[in-house]
Amino acid sequence: MNKKTMSDNDAKTNLNNLDANPIYLNRELSQLAFNRRVMALAEDKHVPLLERLRYLCIVSNNLDEFFEVRIASLLASSQIDGATIESSKLTAALERTSAECHQIVARQYAILNQSILPQLSAIGIHLLHHNDRHERQRAWIKSFFDQEIRPLLTPIGLDPAHPFPQVLNKSLNFIVEMAGKDAFGRNTTIAIIKAPRVLPRVIKLPDVLSPKGVSFCLLSSIIHAHIGDLFADREILSYSQFRVTRNSDLWVDEEEVKNLRQALQSELHSRQFGVAVRLEVAKNCPEHLAQFLLNQFSIAPNRLYAVDGPVNMVRLSEMIDQLPEPALRFAPFSPGLPAHIDNVDDIFTQLKKKDVLLHHPFQSFQPVVDFVRSAAYDAEVVAIRQTIYRTGMNSDLMESLIIAAQRGKEVTVIVELMARFDEEANINWADKLERAGAQVVYGVVGLKTHAKLSLVIRRERDKHGNGELRYYAHLGTGNYHPNTTKLYTDFGLLTSNQKLAIEVNEVFMHLTSLTRPKKMDYLWLAPFALQKEIIRAIRNEADIARQGRPARIIAKMNALLDESVIRALYSASADGVKIELIVRGACALRPGVPGLSENIRVRSIIGRFLEHSRIYYFRNDLQHDVYLASADWMNRNLFRRIEVAFPVLDNTLKRRVINEGLNPYLKDNTNAWNLTSDGSWDKCKPRRRQQVYSAQQDLMQTLGTQTRKIDPH
């Protein structure tokens, strides 16, 4: 084979000459394309109906965060000291992104109104509008409004003494236009109603009112139907529900504050009132009322969304949760356990014999919880060290750390207070841990601690009765969160390999002491070495290819955006390295461009579980180097976070990672999408006479247990 050598700069020059094919795909459009792939599951007739509705809710939640973070960030980058800085590139990017968002939202509501809700109604599950409700239902709703809703509402008529009220981020509100004069003889025409957050957004009607099924009403529909009751003697001209999305990135000057936790606690409240970046109204909202709101919140017209349904589709998940219909959901699934640790009483004795690899959610996360719990009660354990990025409000693992501290063990917990949207939960746990006697550290100023590490140190006796410290570690690709471990695919390694575990201890020493970490032989640590090691491994494969030997890279991650890594991949492709990338979300690499990336294939798997594991595989002349990591190939992960990639050293476990985490996803022809060179995604379909294959379905059957066969589509 004639192989062409290409430097990173050559790769960039080559693609820059292709005007129609810029070197990188647009990050925002790529992220939105991921939401289109999720939305495709909401249209898939093979997916159970309530799960299809849940996928629509997931897309809405993703778009909320997209506006709160990505769009907010782009808009903020165009502001300097409050003044708008004109940039044609930024304006064009925002216009393209806005057009795509409007298309996605329009498609969302079309799927909801034309497919999912009619199908639910056909089987007796009704989401009733006011005109759909019969007389008895209307009477019950009127009583419910009077007793449960109206007492909590505070309509605000706008005048100089009643200015436009503060509107919370993503809260449900109503704007009302009235004719006539108010009680004081003035021409006040506009009122605002805020729906209290304590009220449920989806209300189930009594069964007696729905003898042939089950009926629900949205809170917004009930308030709409009774707005006139709130403004006696006034003529209601028009009204609309509305919702404002705000910039939700928290910012504190970490170098100036004396106590990050206290500063963050005060900043959390301000998140609800950040700069407004999106306005959603009902589709029948009069243009002048929508314009009034746009002016009030200083939002550009292209960020107005007039929707055919609830302004917050995420809230429909409340209806899903109230429906116990098993036939409309995915089949129940129970994770399995590796045979050699099932019913093991002493996890530490087991780890001395053999490392344990866990593949979540196909295998249970419980052994990790048991690992920390056993350490809390084990008399030989002297210290426990733990990183926490996301753990949720309820966590058995965190309770075990508190018990360990109360029992006098040296407990050190690195709590990332700046974990987006989990700040409050992490602050609460930090407070509880400190009160229990644990040493709590908030990571490194300016860097998020995203590594997933747990370390247990035991003082054990050797055969001569002499005491020595022995290290046990858990390293993972996902969070220590009880809910996400059931929904996200991740790998975790429990190990007693002393060389590896001692390096884990070095990471903790680095995070607490703020000293530069020692050179490590096994762990790749960001921000010091991770990107460098990734590029070194890529270039090593390129060297092998140039010498005429087979070279291959397979990598699985959530996002691929780092420009230096992408250039290294382009260069390796030009040298003949076969590169297969499994990227769930945003991908800036453009595959399949002749002379640049024709040896690169990119695919995305979107299925029942959220693909979250990060796996790096390098063939390396049949050494088959396998690394698991907490980091995606993004600049923020490689340089603005504390991240760890760790090798799988045991050959049996290495084969498991390849055979469970990579190969099935490369052959999936059911839930896979392939990225084309123009940036579009093509859904994979089984070729003629090819067997239908779903990676997640196969892993559920081989690693876990389920009570009903799942359609592999």
* Annotated binding-site ranges for ATP: 62, 488, 584, 612
Place of tokens 């006796």: 461
Distance, in Å, from the CA atom of 141 to the CA atom of 224, rounded to the nearest integer, reads 12
Residue of 482, 151, 120 whose CA lies nearest to 322: 120
Query: Is 504 in contact with 475 (CB distance < 8 Å)?
Result: yes
Distance between CA 234 and CA 232 in Å, rounded? 5
Residue with tokens 């100089």: 160
Contacts of 123 (CB under 8 A, 6+ apart): 49, 213
DSSP 197: T
What's 363's DSSP letter? Answer: B
Coil, strand or helix at 410: strand
Query: ∠ CA 670-676-681 to the nearest 5 degrees?
Result: 45
DSSP 564-616: HHHHHHHHHHHTT-EEEEEESS-B-B----TTTTTTEEEEEE-SSSEE--EEE
Q: Is 693 exposed, middle or buried (0-12, 13-18, 19+ CB in 10 A)?
A: middle
3 state SS of 234:
coil
**Annotated binding site for Mg(2+), which residues?**
390, 420
Assign 3-class secondary structure to 84-137: ECCCHHHHHHHHHHHHHHHHHHHHHHHHHHHHHHHHHHHCCEEECCHHHCCHHH
Using an 8 Å Cβ cutoff, are 70 and 248 in contact? no
Contact of 406 with 436, CB cutoff 8 Å: yes
35 vs 409: CA distance, rounded Å = 46
Candidate list 450, 464, 474, 510, residue with the active-site label:
450
Q: Is 450 tagged catalytic?
A: yes
**Residues designated catalytic:** 450
